[in-house]
Amino acid sequence: MKTAQQKGPQIVSIVGRQGGGKTTLIEALVPILSRRGLRVGTAKDAPHEEALDDAGSDSARHRAAGAERTLLLGKSERALFCRVAADEGVEDEIRRLFAGLDLVLVEGLKRGPFPRVEVWRSGCEPPLAWELPVLAVVTDADVALPPGTPRLSPADPGRVADFLLAPGTRS
């Protein structure tokens, strides 16, 4: 939950193993949340900095889904390509760059400061939920999860949106 001192949008990280379906879930969520009247932005962790915004890239897919703003988080650059102050944390940076929006979905940053929802697909390594605290796991697989971890279906992004909008879910 935001404190009275925090300003800017609510932020949730969508995390998971490579190939788990993070971008696909964000593509489904952005139009649903936008139709519900929210101004939604996205950020994409891009630590390898190759091909930051080619056609068909995850960030291009975020924008095509209707995100009002998309930020790529490279190791030493951002696409918005702005210099990063050494003392500005990623949370403050996202809140500043996405001021005026209601919600930012961050793809990646699994060890970042934001609440996490994991997307897990059969065939990937074990769910991150066993390593990191997550609010829920989005999966259609019958996989063991830590006790009390909600399981949401990727086939029902409307229910995932409901979960994200529930009080206490977001930063």
Alpha-carbon span 61 to 102, nearest angstrom = 20
Half-sphere exposure of 116 (CA within 13 A, CB side): 23
Write down the mean pLDDT value for the chain: 84
pLDDT at 139: 97
* 81 C-beta neighbours (distance < 10 Å), count: 9
Residues near 140 by beta carbon (within 8 Å), at least 6 away in sequence: 153, 154, 155
Domains of the chain, residue spans? 10-165
pLDDT computed for residue 161 by the predictor:
97
Burial track 48-79 (b if 16+ CB lie within 10 A, e otherwise): eeeebeeeebbbebbeebebbbbbbbbeeebb
**Predicted local distance difference test score (pLDDT) of residue 155:** 96
Please tell me the distance from the alpha carbon of residue 117 to that of residue 52, in angstroms, as a whole number.
24
Residues of the chain with pLDDT under 70: 1-7, 47-55, 74-84, 168-171
Q: Which CATH number fits domain 10-165: 3.40.50.300, 1.25.40.10, 3.30.300.30, 3.30.70.1020?
A: 3.40.50.300
**pTM to 2 decimal places:** 0.80
The pLDDT score that the predictor gives to residue 170 is: 54
Q: What is the pLDDT of residue 83?
A: 53
Query: And the tokens for 151?
Result: 């399981």
Q: Where would I find the beta strands (DSSP E) of 4-150?
A: 10-15, 40-46, 70-74, 78-79, 103-107, 116-119, 136-138
